Every structure is written in C-alpha cells, then in structure tokens.
C-alpha cells in the first residue's frame, strides 16, 4: 500500500468513525460501520483500491441485461435503491 492509499484509507475510515459517533447511530449502525471500515482496510491492504474506485465511479452506469439478471438472481434489484 502506498502513501496515497494510506491517506485515502485514513480519510475514509475517519469519516466512517465520525458517522458512527453521531448520537443517532444505533448499535447495529455502529457494527455495520465498523465492519465496513475493516473490509475497506483489508481491501486497501491487499491492493484493491483501484477496483473499489472503478466500481464506485461506475455505480450509476446502466447495466447490461445479463448483469441485471445476475443481480436479480441474487435478490438485488438496482432500480429499487432507497434514496
């Protein structure tokens, strides 16, 4: 992991920590945020930052029909995201 990766990981995990520390965060929220921070850390440590950034940057792109079918087979419906 290079210095830029370390800086970005620190920034993101600090943001997750700030969200977790808000008064309205439930214990379930805090658990989810802690696990998200751990998963993010492991991903960065193992060199997956580029893949994470690519996925994030393409979240709103249209899916191919086979991608939609695959997600639906997993019980995920991209069109029903909560705003």
Output b/e per residue, 44-79; b: 16+ Cβ within 10 A. beeeebeeeeeeeeeeeeeeeeeeeeeeeeeeeeee
Q: Is the pLDDT of residue 83 over 70?
A: no
Are the C-beta atoms of 11 and 4 separated by less than 8 Å?
no
Q: How much is the pTM?
A: 0.67
Q: For 35, which DSSP code?
A: H
Q: What digits encode the pLDDT tens for the residues 42-64?
A: 999 999 999 999 888 888 788 78
Output 8 or 61, whichever has higher pLDDT: 8
Q: What digits encode the pLDDT tens for the residues 72-82?
A: 887 777 555 44
Q: Is the pLDDT of residue 22 over 80?
A: yes
* Element of type H or E holding 31: helix 27-45
What span, in angstroms and rounded, lies between the C-alpha atoms of 5 and 66?
A: 33
């Amino acid at each position: 992991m290079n210095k830029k990766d370390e800086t970005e990981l620190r920034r993101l995990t600090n943001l997750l920590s700030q969200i977790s520390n808000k008064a309205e965060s439930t214990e379930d929220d805090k658990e989810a945020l802690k696990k998200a921070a751990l998963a993010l850390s492991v991903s960065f440590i193992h060199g997956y930052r580029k893949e994470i950034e690519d996925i994030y940057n393409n979240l709103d792109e249209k899916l191919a029909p086979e991608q939609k079918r695959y997600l639906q087979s997993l019980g995920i419906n991209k069109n029903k995201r909560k705003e």
